[in-house]
Structure 1
Amino acid sequence: MRRLALLLFALVLLAACAPRPSPPEGSMIDNILVGDVRETAYRGHDDLLSAGLGLAGLRAKAPAFADTIAPTPAELRRRAIHTNWTGIADFGPLGGYGSLYGAVPDVPGREFSAFARVSGAKSPHRVLVQVPDAFDARARCLVVAASSGSRGVYGAIALAGAWGLPRGCAVAYTDKGTGTGYYDLDSQTGVALDGTRAARGSAPLEFAPDAVDSAHGTAIKHAHSGDNPEADWGRHVLQAAQFGLAMLDRAYPQQAPFTHANTRVIVTGVSNGAGAALQAAGLDQAHLIAGVVALAPNVHVEGRGRALYDYASEAALLLPCALADPRFDRVPFARVHGAAPSAGLARCARLHEAGLLEGTDAAAQAHSALDRLRAGGWEDTALATAASSTTFDLWRAVAATYASSYLRAAPDAMPCGFRFGAIDAHGAPIAADAATRAAWWSDASGIPPGAGVALLGGTDASADPAGAAIDCLRALWSGDTADARTLRASVAATAAKLPRADLPIIVAHGEDDGLLPIAFSSRPYVASLEAAGRRPVFWRVPHAQHFDAFLALPAFGDRYVPLLPYGYAALDKMWAHLAEGAPLPPSRRFTTQPRGAGVLEKAALALDAR
């Protein structure tokens, strides 16, 4: 059966996107499975959607390992599912998940997982298909999703799994070349298909960098694969769709073949996963995809908007200073003990000395930094939530990781002096211990810091210790060195192409998104489609920002509404259109209301307004 599945997989991989150089339209692409397909049943005290945790278990602390050094595959999977649910959804007591919207029912079924590689890539990536026992063979449905952010293969379960599995759809996931298969350079171990640690050469690994004899610390697949995976996110999604169809053949051989002609393929995603969905839409020459729902996508098109690296490196440079402006006095996470951070004031002074900011005092310099951000297209609603990404040092982590990816850097040759590795309680670099390594696959988000791995280097002993490395990261976008030209070429390769004219697309985005501002991503993407005669549905959601999981934090959730309900609603509308012939909903701007200090109420979402 495994050989039959592999053969079917190879045969159905018709190109919606081609390897470089591009072959004729509709030709085959070379996709390779690495090792075996792992099939596992989850029933009884376990299931597909929550690993048996249910809503109460997802709201609780992450489940513990019986042996912290050697967790079992089942324990790792359960904790990975918990991590990815809680990293996306708001399970706070006031947020309304499970009562006002969303549910976590028990969904028994089977999983099929494998490592795969797109042609031309050095490193494999994960694909995984969940087939519920209640798969609806009369209305065949396959939901396909790439992970959000740089998360592992379960990174879209809170959207794609939560919507598709209870409805009898199979769900195919891809980590799109990112993920949490961290490689430990000190012990020369990586992550096997079942999530456990394995030595290099002993088993197929999720990621193993080129051998670096003298390197220490941690290698991260997104940063160090050598593939610029973002340029292939669309291909990863299409490959996951074809893998999903092949695994349905394996799960239900008497009903095979499953093809895009008899199985509705809906592609969805959040954040980077949504950007991958839109990339796939632009590559789908074979009409594999029936519809797309993209939630807060990281997407850019040539000549419109701004690429993530551009505005992330700008935010890393200017926002620490801009946050000293009085407009941020009451913004959550913009102040530490009520005062502007001293490092931010030092950044103001340094940028002024460099001639980049006006003003002779910190107040004027902060206002000048804010003016520069606004001149670059930042809107005040986005800046308010971008403050949290600054305080959590997310801009620097994103810029360092993406710069390494775009430059195809080795773990010991990251740009601007950065590296990744474990630290002790005092922040000193150390070799990761066995327990820390064992939990990386289940606990990490794909971009350190987190799960015992820190972003190291890139600092000095000056008053603005991160300043010089931030200048370096920004110069990779604005400069004219060989590395800068390489980085910009890598970013250009990630631009989404025009989808086919009849492909239904719904894009939903929060207007207060400070990580992927709507002005730089969804709005220009939709405008490009409209200029080409396409008719995408565009849902704009005031008072929604990027991280629903942040809504459980004090003084944050009362200002915003969650975005996930709009993803579920958009998928409902897409299914009604595809399966029942209902018209697509209109583009609209919802009349939302901030949650306030109480429990989220249905009226605040305004989903039933029309």
Structure 2
Amino acid sequence: MSASDNFGTLRVTTHRGGDDLLSAGLGLRGLSGAPAPFAHPAAPTPAELRRRAIQSNWKGIADLGPLGGFGTVYGSVPDVPGREFMAFARLAGAKASHRILVQVPDAFDRAKRCLVVSASPGTRGVYGSIAVAGAWGLPRGCAVAYTDKGAGSGYFDSADGSGVALDGTRAKAGEVPLEFEPTGVAARAGIAVKHAHSGDNPEADWGRHVLQAARFGLAMLDEAFPDDAPFTPANTRIIATGLSNGGGAVLRAAGEDTEGLLTAVVALAPNIYVEGHGRPFYDYATEAAIFLPAALAAPPFDGLPFARVGGAQPPAWALRCAALRAHGRLSAMLPAAQGEEALALLRASGWHDEALAVGASSASLDLWRAVTVAYASAYLRRPCGDMPCGYSYRPQHTGGMAGPVDAMIRAAWWADGSGTPPGAGIALAGGSDVSMDPTLPGNLCLRDLWTGQDTDAQRLREAVQVTAASLPREDLPVFVVHGAQDGLIPVGFSSDPYVKWLRAAGRSPVYWKVPHAQHFDAFLAFPDFGDRHVPLLPFGHAALDRAWAHVAEGRALPEDAAVRDTRPRGPGALTAAALALPGA
């Protein structure tokens, strides 16, 4: 390990006999079912929390529904017994720790030593990438190293000074080391979230997080198999893979891997930014949060899921049009014309119609605002109780009153939380007014942090600038797999310019742009929405197959693929013909 690596107490657990590494004994049926129960809801055991965390992260990433094809057309959830090695880690210079995990299957292939390293998508906890990295690597006899990359659901409650211990249970500050333990937080400051409030701008260190996880993985293989040690990059193939923010993290690691740790990189729908190319996520996300709800009032969105409900236009779109006109952001008089005007603004800034149509889901679910609030706080290194634009995270009491159910919800935060409230009993408060469009003021404030000229705006842009990617070494195989209809991280702002930049610099990435695939496979369970798309996950697993064949068997790298024969799933169950995966 590097001298700069700082790991806390190691927790080693064994998972066999109905409690395996890949599904905690739930299997495919259990993963897709109701939330795994707790015997005592206000005091779940570490094993119960782990099982529920694995389940919630599977369901948050993969389409496990009856029409989705998982387990029949692609993918499986076999029983994988083995051991887990977990610790709190810290990067050199960081204020807060993060969680890191290595899963070592009993059937680890010592003849073909393989370590898969992955960063969680979005701001999910350490099991966030289990459907991507674990599902591919563990059944093949690979060890899998995960990092939450400075995010995760180790929420700290300022009201009682409690956070999340290494085993997932809640504990008071000072009793045991906590996943996130901010200092100097007032008792009424609300809920402290690691990504938003650590003071570290974790995104700047995504690449370092992945490389640290790789080193931790090698060290834990030494621990697991001392007779076969040492495990090094010279004798162990290390494949980095991730989805969304995790995909961006492994590409960042590819550009920062001066040690030659990585053997290959496979990035799915990566949130990646190249200086002078494409657009940073915060830029286009704050823009979409303001103008996309208005654009959805335009006729081109008639009949599209999330843009229309029961064939009718939700009132929120017309209200956003009127509010933007009142703020001087639109000039047309009628909602349809205002919608067309907003649509024209988005098209002029680089949005393609395919991304806008699917982006309706993020607008309808208010994802743009939820995500950019956390990013703004992280970029500006704001603590809990002093978030930008007046936002805060607060407990969402049932019926508006605190009661016994709150203890049960709080106890499950680590397992159920996505790392970005609202959700799991936490509300996003502030940034609003009492108008007919109450969230617009906060969205305008977040946008002004990108377009403005005051000190905070300058600091935020500087914080975004240090998240730009660097070039990977010339001989590193890099696969990029992205849905052509991604509405959250559009290919035109991310993968397209990144791949073009690599090629201009003499690199040879493999780029699969998948028609009819979008960002959230889990959203394919929504009626009508899933009919129009195919999942991205099977293409990621196929790319991992090809990467492994190249590094382990010497097979040639595949060509780019537009995956031309892929077609929408339709109203029935997914078929292999609809996927049309690139040939082996």
Give TM-score, length-normalised by structure 2.
0.98
1:570 aligns with 2:528: no
TM-fit CA distance, 1:33: 1.2
- Residue number in structure 2 paired with 1:130: 103
Residues 82-107 of structure 1 deviation map (CA, whole Å, 9 limit, x = unaligned): 00001111111111100110010000
- Residue number in structure 1 paired with 2:580: 606
Equivalent residue for 1:196, pick from 162, 169, 178: 169
Aligned partners of 2:284 and 2:534: how far apart in 1? 24
TM-fit CA distance, 1:343: 3.2
Equivalent residue for 2:42, pick from 58, 62, 69: 69
Q: Which amino acid aligns with 2:580?
A: A
Secondary structure of the equivalent of 2:126?
A: coil
Equivalent residue for 1:88, pick from 61, 69, 72: 61
TM-fit CA distance, 1:338: 4.0
Q: Which amino acid aligns with 1:150?
A: T
Q: Which amino acid aligns with 1:385?
A: V
TM-fit CA distance, 1:431: 11
- Residue number in structure 2 paired with 1:251: 224
Question: 1:142–1:170: 8 Å Cα contact kept in structure 2?
Answer: yes
Aligned partners of 2:399 and 2:326: how far apart in 1? 33
Alignment of structure 1 residues 46-445 onto 2, 5 Å = 46-426=19-399, 433-445=406-418
TM-fit CA distance, 1:605: 1.2
Question: 1:159–1:567: 8 Å Cα contact kept in structure 2?
Answer: yes
TM-fit CA distance, 1:262: 0.3
Aligned partners of 2:146 and 2:467: how far apart in 1? 20
Q: Which amino acid aligns with 1:359?
A: A
Question: How well do the aligned residues superpose, as a CA RMSD in angstroms?
Answer: 1.4
- Residue number in structure 2 paired with 1:24: none
Residues 329-383 of structure 1 deviation map (CA, whole Å, 9 limit, x = unaligned): 2111123454333333222123223332231211111100011111111111111
Secondary structure of the equivalent of 1:519?
A: helix
Aligned partners of 1:174 and 1:133: how far apart in 2? 21
Deviates more, 1:350-359 or 1:229-238: 350-359
Question: 2:132–2:541: 8 Å Cα contact kept in structure 1?
Answer: yes
TM-fit CA distance, 1:66: 0.4
Structure 1 residues 211 and 319, CA gap change in structure 2 (3 angstroms): same
Aligned partners of 2:582 and 2:31: how far apart in 1? 28
Question: 2:398–2:405: 8 Å Cα contact kept in structure 1?
Answer: no
Residues 163-220 of structure 1 deviation map (CA, whole Å, 9 limit, x = unaligned): 0000000000000000010011111100000000010011110001122224332111
Equivalent residue for 1:463, pick from 433, 436, 443: 436
Aligned partners of 2:583 and 2:86: how far apart in 1? 41
Q: Which amino acid aligns with 2:435?
A: S
Secondary structure of the equivalent of 1:398?
A: helix
- Residue number in structure 1 paired with 2:568: 594
TM-fit CA distance, 1:268: 0.3
- Residue number in structure 2 paired with 1:4: none
Q: Which amino acid aligns with 1:454?
A: A
Aligned partners of 2:583 and 2:354: how far apart in 1? 23
Secondary structure of the equivalent of 2:103?
A: strand
Aligned partners of 1:204 and 1:321: how far apart in 2? 47
Question: 1:422–1:431: 8 Å Cα contact kept in structure 2?
Answer: no
TM-fit CA distance, 1:428: 7.6
Question: 1:143–1:170: 8 Å Cα contact kept in structure 2?
Answer: yes
Aligned partners of 2:312 and 2:573: how far apart in 1? 30
1:532 aligns with 2:505: yes
Residues 291-344 of structure 1 deviation map (CA, whole Å, 9 limit, x = unaligned): 000000000110000111001100111011111112222111123454333333
Aligned partners of 1:358 and 1:429: how far apart in 2? 45
Show structure 1 runs of 5+ residues with no match. 1-11, 14-27
Question: 1:423–1:430: 8 Å Cα contact kept in structure 2?
Answer: no
Aligned partners of 1:180 and 1:488: how far apart in 2? 26
Q: Which amino acid aligns with 2:448?
A: A
Aligned partners of 2:324 and 2:318: how far apart in 1? 10
Show structure 2 runs of 5+ residues with no match. none
- Residue number in structure 1 paired with 2:427: 454
Aligned partners of 1:217 and 1:81: how far apart in 2? 27
Structure 1 residues 430 and 539, CA gap change in structure 2 (3 angstroms): farther
- Residue number in structure 2 paired with 1:514: 487
Aligned partners of 2:430 and 2:7: how far apart in 1? 37
Residues 257-293 of structure 1 deviation map (CA, whole Å, 9 limit, x = unaligned): 0000000000000000010000100000111100000
Residues 443-472 of structure 1 deviation map (CA, whole Å, 9 limit, x = unaligned): 011111111111111111112211111110
Q: Which amino acid aligns with 2:381?
A: R
Deviates more, 1:214-223 or 1:72-81: 214-223
TM-fit CA distance, 1:427: 5.8
Deviates more, 1:211-220 or 1:595-604: 211-220
Structure 1 residues 229 and 512, CA gap change in structure 2 (3 angstroms): same
Aligned partners of 2:122 and 2:158: how far apart in 1? 24
Aligned partners of 2:398 and 2:348: how far apart in 1? 41
Aligned partners of 1:317 and 1:305: how far apart in 2? 20
Question: 1:215–1:411: 8 Å Cα contact kept in structure 2?
Answer: no
Aligned partners of 2:128 and 2:144: how far apart in 1? 12
Equivalent residue for 1:579, pick from 539, 552, 559: 552
TM-fit CA distance, 1:433: 2.3
Deviates more, 1:350-359 or 1:553-562: 350-359
Question: 2:569–2:575: 8 Å Cα contact kept in structure 1?
Answer: yes
Structure 1 residues 474 and 496, CA gap change in structure 2 (3 angstroms): same
Aligned partners of 2:187 and 2:139: how far apart in 1? 50
Aligned partners of 2:128 and 2:39: how far apart in 1? 24
Question: 1:50–1:82: 8 Å Cα contact kept in structure 2?
Answer: yes
Deviates more, 1:463-472 or 1:192-201: 463-472
Q: Which amino acid aligns with 1:595?
A: R
Deviates more, 1:342-351 or 1:117-126: 342-351
Give TM-score, length-normalised by structure 1.
0.94
**Equivalent residues, number:** 583
